[in-house]
Amino acid sequence: MKLLRKLKPFDRKSGNLNVVIDTPKGSRNKYAFDFKINAYKLKAVLPHGTVFPFDFGSIPGTVAEDGDPLDVLVLMDEPVFIGCLVETRLLGVIEAEQIEADKTERNDRLIAVAAESHTNGALKSLQKLDSKLIDEIEHFFVSYNRKSHKEAKVGFPPPLKSGIRFQRGSRKRSVIYYVQTSG
């Protein structure tokens, strides 16, 4: 999948983010692309009765603070297949810290909506999401981390106003996203 290395993080014309889906909605299996073997690999299996409630993916050509490509939760009408490229519009960010033993790691996730979504296509920010859905997103991340014997602290910062800014790194592009208060 050399294509994953060549894809741009976003489309300059539309401004949409390119997200490659790693784990589809409804799956108990968590997948991740392994660049060493050039294939998707099973990373974890959720307990019975637990599934990924949304499509999860990453932005190609980016590196987050945890060293992996930047994570994105994608709101879509129907799940898609692993490796599917989905053009998305950024809604906001979940600020997340994962705590294991004495080590704290930042592992934020962007929340985006599929550009072709009929159900959520009009959404422009997290503040327009139903509060119950926000609670479900937070509950999933806390529960998911607990399964891995990690504590998770999840927060939703003020509305996203300015989008994300891409900054060129040494060999890979890194992402810096910023959140500003409205007003």
pLDDT at residue 160 is higher than 50:
no
* 29-84 pLDDT per residue, tens: 999 988 889 899 999 998 888 899 999 999 988 887 777 888 899 999 999 999 99
Query: Hey, what are 105's tokens?
Result: 């790691």
Is residue 50 a contact partner of residue 28, using CB atoms and an 8 Å limit?
A: yes
pLDDT of residue 179: 34
Q: State the CB neighbour count (10 A cutoff) for residue 179.
A: 16
* CATH value of 2-177 in 3.90.80.10, 3.40.640.10, 1.10.3720.10, 3.40.50.740: 3.90.80.10
pLDDT at residue number 148: 73
pTM of the entire predicted model = 0.81
